[in-house]
Structure formats: structure tokens, C-alpha cells
Amino acid sequence: MQKLTNKEEEIMHILWKLKKAFVKEVMAEITEEQPHYNTLSTIVRNLEEKGFVSHNAFGNTHQYYPIVSLEEYRKRFMNTAIDNYFNSSYKNMVSFFAKEEKISAAELREILTMIENQEEEK
């Protein structure tokens, strides 16, 4: 799976939300700095070439839909980020967020409870 640019990720989030969309429908979802229609169309075609979306043809128009799920992409993205920025250590990642005060002790206890419950189910 190839890495996406920020703009490609933005477009994928729109397609995951809409499930199926024509370029004009994707355009309507972009709130900041709308690209030119042709530029957006090129981005969507690039996503298709990278294997993230496919389309149904309706005459000269195409309706695009994701073929990579948000969950698949999230898993790949998170694994890569943890490998690249936290030496493949989830402990280092959680510690980073705790130090940055992005996660509270209560949230950490909740996560610990989830882990303990999963271990009990095994």
C-alpha cells in the first residue's frame, strides 16, 4: 500500500464518509481551499492508480468508491507511525501522549481495563 499525500488522505476521508461519490460531490465536501475541478479529478484518478478507489462508469462520468477501508488504512498508518517514531514500541507511544498531556490517567485506566477484559476472554 503506497503512502498518500495529505490531499489524497483528505479525499479518501470524504470517500469513506460518502461511500460512493462523483467528483462534484467530493468537491462539495471540501470546506477549505477547494481545488479546481480538474485538479480534484486528477487526485481521484491517482487514488485509483494507487489502488485505493475504483469507479462505476455512467457514460462519460465516473462514480468513485473506496476499495481500501478506513480500518485497513488506519492499521497501516498507525503501524508505520509507531515503527518510525516510537521504535516499534506501543509503550513509548502511550508514554509520549501521557507526557504531552494528550491522554489522562482515567483514559489510561480505561484502556487497561479493555486490555484486561480481552485477556480474560481468551
Amino acid at 32: E
Q: Is the pLDDT of residue 1 over 90?
A: no
Q: Rounded to the nearest 5°, which phi and psi values hold at 91?
A: -60, -45
What pLDDT digit, counting tens, does each position of 10-38 carry?
A: 999 999 999 999 999 999 999 888 899 99
Place of cell 477484559: 117
Q: Where are the beta strands (DSSP E) in 1-122?
A: 21-22, 53-58, 61-66
pTM of the predicted protein model = 0.77
% of the chain beyond a pLDDT of 90: 61
CA pair distance 79, 85, nearest whole angstrom: 10
Q: What is the mean pLDDT of residues 32-61?
A: 94
Q: How confident is the model at residue 119 (pLDDT cuts 50, 70, 90)?
A: confident
- Comparing C-alpha atoms, which of 3, 7, 60 is closest to residue 15? 7
What pLDDT digit, counting tens, does each position of 85-95 carry?
A: 999 998 899 88
Average pLDDT, the chain: 92
- Comparing C-alpha atoms, which of 69, 68, 71, 55 is closest to residue 22? 55
CA pair distance 96, 103, nearest whole angstrom: 9
Q: What is the mean pLDDT of residues 56-62?
A: 94
